[in-house]
Amino acid sequence: MSDTEALLEKIRSKRREVAEYLKKSEPRQSRLITTSIVAGALAAALTAGPGVGGSGFIEAAKGVVSFGIPVWQVLCLLATMLSMAAVITNGLLKTRDLTSKIAQVRGCDAKLEGLETMLELDQIELQQAASLYTQYLTEIPHVR
């Protein structure tokens, strides 16, 4: 196996790792974003009823459902839980920095694809290609 073929195999291997990382991370990011949006919207909707409808809304809700405790308490409890879910999912998104990491990985994958193509078409010297490959890997240390 030539040095060029060896580098090409390393690039292809890293691109497979990148694809696997994206396959796992993108759906996770999507679920967290969706959960945050839905939970926040539902929390707002639960508090809007009593806020806008006042006692008329509370009386109408009592006629539909009976919990054994005041309806407004149930609505507040549900709104609080949903609000907490939205805050937690937003926190997870920010602390894991998924959006930024996914963007970095996508950018690096494009660079690796270009490098792979240049090597396959013999458009770049091996030493320069190896240097670029090493440089690109430092952009995505979280992909293993």
59 with 52: CB under 8 angstroms? no
Which tokens belong to 100? 């930024």
Higher-confidence residue of 53 and 99: namely: 99
What is the pTM (predicted TM-score) of this model? Answer: 0.79
pLDDT digits (tens, 9 = 90+) for 52-82: 888 787 777 776 666 678 887 888 899 999 9
pLDDT digits (tens, 9 = 90+) for 106-141: 999 999 999 999 999 999 999 999 999 999 999 999
Which tokens belong to 82? 């949903």
Note the helical H segments in 65-142. Answer: 71-96, 98-120, 126-137
Rounded to the nearest 10 degrees, the angle between the axes of helix 71-96 and helix 98-120 is: 30
